[in-house]
Structure 1
Amino acid sequence: MFKVLMTLLLGTLSLFASSESTGELPNLTMTWVGFATLLIFVIGYYFVAAEEKYAIDKAKPALFIGTFMFMLVAIYYSLNGLDMNLVNTQAEHLILEIAEIFFFLFVAMTYIESLLHMGVFDSLKYNLVSKGYTYRKLFWVTGFIAFFISPIADNLTTALILSTVLITIEKTRKDFLVPGAINIVVAANAGGAWSPFGDITTLMAWTAGKGVFTDFLYLFPASVLGYVVTAFLLSRFVPKVVPDFDVANEKKPKMAEGAKVVMALGVFTIFSAVMSHQVLHLPAMWGMMFGLALLKVYSYSLGKKYGKNHFNIFESMSKIENNTLMFFFGILAAVGALYFVGWLGLAAVVYDPSVLGPTWSNIGVGFLSAIVDNVPVMSAILKANPEMGVDQWMLVTMTAGIGGSLISFGSAAGVGVMGKLHGIYTFGSHMKYAWTILLGYIVSCSVWYFQYHILEISHY
């Protein structure tokens, strides 16, 4: 079993070869820099995972290893007279990949902070809690909202919005917040898996022509049933008591003037991101930045009408969780360095039927996407373009998306929620309930197999 798992891991590591190069990269795995980068990555990853134990922000070790590893590779190239143009080319491709995610996150977080400032989440909290819902009912409500918003927006933005709602409802009770946070991450990732623009990975597969729009909709049964299994198991740990809330004495919050327009601009911004990528062939973050520009213009008009203190967008920007952005930069840079050295190109043979075959390889991709970001994983799979039918392309799209839920920082949604619930939703608190997510993942894969290979219900 261990041998199979190692074969799977080493093979799927090759899928990170997503960066294009103008020249052939030398294999440096068996050199001092090869072993050094691997060791640094393992040590850094340990400190990221042990964030709670050492009381160290996950962004610090991630940023250190990401920058240091790449600099070591550059030093090795310089000392050995290798082509320094390759260093520059790889760095530029890496910066482009990081920038797309970085600015996407930046705009999404700015909108969240703006909505917080305008009282949108306080109003939503009042509407939910004033109904007399127990913590367990609130758990289910926020989960299902996340599941059905994610296909329309995207999993990251959905997770950021709903985790903000969660911390607005309750700020201290971990028996509600931790299962609730996991529930939102799982729901957002599962909901995004059955929509062509619900996740970056599904968008990539869609635009690459691996399935038409309706093909992704056939993933709904696997996505929803896997989520429901995990949510049901998690809900057993959530108390049934009603939050302390006196409706009679609690003043109903009022949203600030212009809040509804800001919400509409947020929806339009997500739409712009999808259209930028799908129609205009620009990075998704281009549409997000356009939405930010619109928000800036609107904030100017609000300032003219209600005073400059009514809504200051730069104040919203100042409250962004910068550690989340730095974490993304560090992890993606570290993964890029491992690819550059050659560790991620060890074996591209796992899709061969004589090794693991497409089904087990694609299921393994889900576990791999939990360790590192699923974007370069999916990008590399598309570049490798193994011989697979639509059923297998749908499987890898689903597993790459929902597999990230297995670890707290295995997906953009998870990292975003960790930033919002800092010190509450951590690697350790997540892993305590990881078995519920694993069971849901198994259910999703089983439903996919039953649907595509037993009932043969799909769209070809």
Structure 2
Amino acid sequence: MIKLLMALLVSSVSLFASSASTGTIPDITMTWVGFACLFIFVIGYYFVAAEEKYEIDKAKPALFIGTFMFMLVAIYYSLNHMDMGLVHTQAQHLILEIAEIFFFLFVAMTYIESLIHMSVFDALKYKLISKGMTYRKLFWVTGFLAFFISPIADNLTTALILSTVLITIEKKRLDFLVPGAINIVVSANAGGAWSPFGDITTLMAWTAGKGAFTDFLFLFPASILGYLATAIILSRFVPNEVPEFDVTTEVKPVMAEGAKVVMFLGVFTIFCAVMSHQVLHLPAMWGMMFGLSLLKIYSYGLKRKYGVDHFNIFHSMAKIENNTLMFFFGILAAVGALYFIGWLALAAVVYDPSVLGPTWSNIGVGFLSAIVDNVPVMSAVLKASPEMGLDQWMLVTLTAGVGGSMISFGSAAGVGVMGKLHGIYTFGAHMKYAWTIVIGYFVSIAVWYLQYQVLGIGH
């Protein structure tokens, strides 16, 4: 199934593909605007990372740099009497794809808020805690759920759902919430890396013909062992205590009438999104919006049957984390500007054997994915299409997919959880445990090396 950031693939490709019809996009990296935008991007990312220190919402610097960088590029084109049609075309492509992401995320978040309103997650929390599980066992349960749901659903939706479960289980204990949130992000990203539908990077490599469907399934050992390496270490920081819970006094939550139908509609909506892209060749958000229309129709039926206060879909929409949506807009716009300028295209140079070569370059892709975003990095690699065998294409698929976990805002899952656990799962909180993720990252690479280079399995 397609990752929720799938629409950015089209955006990334379009930034290059449109040049075929409008002329070659000039490389302006070594100009004042090229260096200025790179500087602005770095400074903006610093303030995103230092959200906790400066008490500034990450959406503010992201939105500023995303809009300002493109305006600077337009000013440069105008001052130098360059083709302004290129600027207009690239901006149009970018805003179209960002809008697709907006609507995709909007629908996913509406469903999650609807399920919260109908006490679905409260019921799940009660079922988990009433079994007498310790915080550590709950850590493992949510982690494994994320790992095996992500290949079927997308990593962002998976992370949003399970982080909601996490915060309903416990609202105060940071020694459970922070490692638990990191665990969900890492497992969701790792789980999506071995399925052609589970992660945008695997989808991109698969559709580009870099491997057959079954080739990606061979990444399962590297994905799960890398995740387990991180999770085992992280679990040591989670208290081995049973949450305070008295079954005799705690009121058992009852899901609202119609909750199971809403759950079914949520799954069906994701199915529609996949079919829209894979079969009907429509944007994935088209299927999501169709699913939203079904939810709205069903909510009308619930209102007629149980009254206006039973379920109001607009109340769910009002609770959506808008700062997360604004953050995505800003970051994707900033990344689009870097593409347009030509900075990210320079990444392909390192694949030359005289520089780093494919193996070290692909390992570096994971670290770059954590800083920028795995989608534009992978898109740049695919566009350059360096001469590599199947084993190396699987390596870059793996590293780009799981590398974003190393920084809290390096993946869609991380950004989503930051929004859901606002003030709890922050950049600073994440970086305290980032070393455990780096260990898991290199375990994944070691498993890949043993499997592909030593044993020759997967070729």
- State the TM-score, normalizing by the size of structure 2: 0.94
Q: 1:291 to 1:165 in 2, by over 3 A?
A: same
Equivalent position amino acid for 1:380 in 2: A
Deviation at 1:401, TM superposition (A): 1.0
Cα shift at 1:344: 2.4
Higher relative contact order (CA closer than 8 Å, sequence separation 6+): 1
Which residue of 2 is the match for residue 171 of structure 1?
A: 171
Equivalent of residue 15 in structure 2, options 19, 23, 42 = 19
- Asked if residue 227 in structure 1 is aligned to residue 223 in structure 2, the reply is no
Task: Report deviation, 1:243.
Answer: 0.7
> Where does residue 290 of structure 1 map in the other structure?
290
Structure-1 residue corresponding to 2:6: none
Alpha-carbon distance between aligned partners in 1 of 2:377 and 2:31, rounded to the nearest angstrom: 25
Question: Which runs of 5 or more residues in structure 2 are unaligned?
Answer: 1-11
Residue type at the aligned position of 2:196: P
- Is contact 2:409-2:415 (8 Å) kept? yes
Letter paired with 2:15: S
Question: Residues 393-404 of structure 1 correspond to what in structure 2 (within 5 A)?
Answer: 393-404=393-404
SS at structure 2 position matched to 1:19: helix
How many angstroms does 1:373 deviate by?
1.9
What is the CA–CA distance in structure 1 between the aligned matches of 2:379 and 2:289, rounded to whole Å? 23
1:179–1:418 CA distance, 2 compared to 1 (3 A): same
One-letter amino acid of the structure 2 residue matched with residue 156 of structure 1: L
Is 1:63–1:329's contact at 8 Å kept on the other side of the alignment? yes
* Aligned-partner Cα distance in 2 for 1:318–1:44: 28
> Per-residue CA shift, 1:376-424, capped at 9, x if unaligned?
2222322222222222222111111110000000000000000000000
Contact (CA 8 Å) 1:191, 1:224: kept in 2 or not?
yes
What's 1:11 paired with? none
Residues 248, 347 of structure 1: CA spacing in aligned structure 2 closer, same or farther, 3 A cutoff?
Answer: closer
Other-structure match for 1:7: none
Displacement of 1:277: 1.9
Q: Deviations over 1:294-320 (max 9, x none)?
A: 211211121122122211111111110
After superposition, give the CA deviation of every residue in 1:253-285 in whole Å (9 maximum; x if it has no partner): 000011111111111111122222222222222
Please name the residue that 2:269 is paired with: 269
CA distance, structure 2, for counterparts of residue 232 and residue 241 of structure 1: 17
Alignment of 1:32-51 (within 5 A): 32-51=32-51
Conserved in 1, the CA contact under 8 Å of 2:14 and 2:93? no
Aligned amino acid, residue 127 of structure 1? K
- Give the Cα separation in 1 of the matches to 2:38 and 2:71: 14
Residue 358 of structure 2 corresponds to residue 344 of structure 1: no
| Alignment of 1:140 onto 2:140 | yes
Alpha-carbon deviations, 1:358-382, whole Å to 9, x = none?
A: 2221111111110122122222322
TM alignment of 1:84-95, pairs within 5 A: 84-95=84-95
User: Which residues of 2 match residues 60-459 of structure 1 at below 5 A?
Assistant: 60-346=60-346, 348-458=348-458
CA distance in 1, matches of 2:168, 2:251: 15
For 1:311 and 1:199, the matched residues in 2 are separated by 33
- Out of 425-434 and 372-381, give the one that drifted further: 372-381
Counterpart for residue 13 of structure 1: none
Question: What amino acid maps onto 1:426 in structure 2?
Answer: T
Q: Decide which moves more: 418-427 or 86-95.
A: 86-95
**Separation in 1 of the partners of 2:96 and 2:362?**
27
Could you tell me how far apart the structure 1 residues matched to 2:190 and 2:367 are?
15
In 2, Cα distance between equivalents of 1:343 and 1:457: 36
Following superposition, the deviation at residue 332 of structure 1 comes to 1.1
- Please tell me the residue identity of whatever aligns with 1:197: F
User: What whole-Å deviation, never above 9, does each CA across 1:79-119 have from its counterpart, x for those lacking one?
Assistant: 22111101001111211332232222111111110100000
The Cα of 1:24 is off from its aligned counterpart by 1.8
Consecutive unaligned residues of structure 1, counting only runs of 5 or more, are 1-15
RMSD: 1.4
Give me the whole-angstrom Cα distance separating, in 1, the residues matched to 2:418 and 2:169.
17
**Identity over aligned pairs, percent:** 84
SS at match of 1:210: coil
Which amino acid in the other structure matches residue 88 of structure 1? Answer: H
**1:342-365 per-position Cα deviation (integer Å, ceiling 9, x unaligned):** 322335322222222222211111
- Superposition deviation, residue 204 in structure 1: 2.1
**What SS is found at the alignment partner of 2:15?**
coil
Cα 1:18–1:401 change in 2 (3 A) is farther
* Separation of aligned partners in 2, 1:297 and 1:383: 43
Q: Paired residues, what number?
A: 444
How far residue 46 of structure 1 moved from its aligned partner, in angstroms, is 0.8
Q: Is the 8 A contact 1:207 1:278 kept in 2?
A: no
- Tell me the alpha carbon deviations over residues 41-78 of structure 1, each in whole angstroms, 9 at most, x when there is no partner: 11111111100000000000000111011111111211
Q: TM-score, normalised by structure 1?
A: 0.94
State the distance in 2 between where 1:393 and 1:114 align. Answer: 40
Query: In the aligned structure 2, how far is the partner of 1:347 from the partner of 1:202?
Result: 19
